[in-house]
């Protein structure tokens, strides 16, 4: 999608003009946008003031930063934790039983190891 020629604050000002009674056709002609674009903006920013748009933008940036930090922390903590399952995805208790009884799980069945 192409970048908008207008900032979010400018869009909020145009929407505010429409709420004050200026015709939508006039606003769209002055801003060089289609009526469809105007209604898309109205759906996205409906009821927000320019300062509210700035706050929304700041909150979205903060949210993205927190998500990035959380992803990094959970990746680090996953590296620090001992594995709860072996590589095949079976539980740790199943691995313990296989060790105790000398079994190796193949693709289709459990086979007793040599010497057992």
Q: Bigger pLDDT: 116 or 66?
A: 66
CA angle 28–33–34, rounded 5-degree value: 85
- Give backbone dihedrals phi and psi of 95, rounded to 5 degrees, phi first: -65, -40
Residues 6+ apart with CB under 8 A from 57: 8
Q: Which of 72, 98, 76, 74 is nearest to 85 (CA)?
A: 98
pLDDT for 42-84, tens place per residue? Answer: 998 887 888 888 898 899 999 999 999 998 888 877 777 665 5
pLDDT for 18-35, tens place per residue? Answer: 999 999 999 999 999 999
Query: Which token pair is 48?
Result: 């927000």
pLDDT at 30: 94
- pLDDT over threshold 70, residue 9: yes
pLDDT for 98-115, tens place per residue? Answer: 666 665 555 555 555 555
Q: Which of 116, 8, 2 is nearest to 54 (CA)?
A: 8
């Amino acid at each position: 999608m192409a970048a908008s020629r207008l900032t979010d604050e400018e869009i909020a000002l145009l929407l505010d003009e429409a709420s004050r009674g200026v015709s939508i056709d006039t606003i769209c002609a002055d801003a060089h946008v289609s009526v469809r674009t105007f209604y898309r903006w109205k759906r996205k920013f409906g009821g927000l003031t320019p300062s509210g748009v700035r706050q929304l933008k700041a909150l979205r940036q903060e949210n993205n930063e927190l998500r990035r930090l959380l992803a990094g922390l959970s990746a680090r903590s996953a590296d620090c934790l001992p594995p709860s399952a072996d590589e095949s995805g079976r539980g740790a208790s199943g691995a313990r039983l296989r060790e105790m009884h000398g079994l190796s799980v193949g693709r289709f069945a459990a086979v007793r190891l040599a010497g057992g």
